[in-house]
Amino acid sequence: MGIESAEPGTVRPGGRTARVRAAVLEAAGDALAEQGFARLDLADIARRADVGKTTVYRRWGTVAGLVADLLSDMAEQSLPRTETGSLLEDLKANASLVRRTLSDRRQGALFKAVIAAATTDARTAEALHRFYEIRIAEWAPCVQQAVERGELPADTDGHEVIRAVSAPLYYRLLTSAAPLDEAAAERAAEAAAAAARAGCYRSTAGSGA
């Protein structure tokens, strides 16, 4: 059942546009996960979404433009952070979310495809960087809260701590055949918390520690 088959007059102003976007982005995500970036084709995505080809070309223009919009939507749709009252538990919640996303069949393939595309396509790289900035900024306040609770040095860089949680999971995904299990997620959270407590992510750091 495609978007364009919605009965005329039953949709709020703006509703149809939003639903066309949702259908096209979902189809783009499916195609990316199945085929990778290099084989993406706007006409094929329009067919999958049951949306007119002209609409897709007019609205997104290029494959890179569509993928950039997909990443922007993924950032908007992502889950809000968890607040547990403890740095370690907050970081474990973050690590577990990243792990579940990357080990999900469709989502994992989609992230791999976009990261691969970003190595050659500047617009996709920019959209991917923006996606991570938004996600990191969503979680960074849990570090600030830990600072306020006295768990961490005052000048701890929250963005660096959150990046440190993700890094080993992405590294494992891209450079090894090892499974992304919960033990890996826990270890990533524990290591980031321990290094943060040791002062490694202080914004004035760079030696010592």
Q: Which residues sit at the interface with a copy of itself, rule CB under 8 A?
A: 36, 38, 112-113, 115-120, 125-126, 128-129, 132-133, 160, 163-164, 166-168, 170-172, 174-177, 183, 186-187, 190-195, 197-198, 200-201, 205-209
Looking at the Cβ atoms of 55 and 107, the one nearer to a copy of itself is 107
Looking at the Cβ atoms of 46 and 118, the one nearer to a copy of itself is 118
∠ CA 19-25-31, rounded to 5°: 140
Query: Could you tell me if 146 and 87 are in contact, meaning their C-beta atoms sit under 8 angstroms apart?
Result: yes
Site of tokens 């088959």: 5
∠ CA 99-102-107, rounded to 5°: 140
Taking CA atoms, 17 is separated from 101, 103, 181, in Å, by 28, 32, 39
Smallest gap from Cβ 200 to a copy of itself, in A, equals 4
Smallest gap from Cβ 165 to a copy of itself, in A, equals 10
Distance CA 117, CA 135 (A): 20
Looking at the Cβ atoms of 15 and 171, the one nearer to a copy of itself is 171
Looking at the Cβ atoms of 11 and 116, the one nearer to a copy of itself is 116
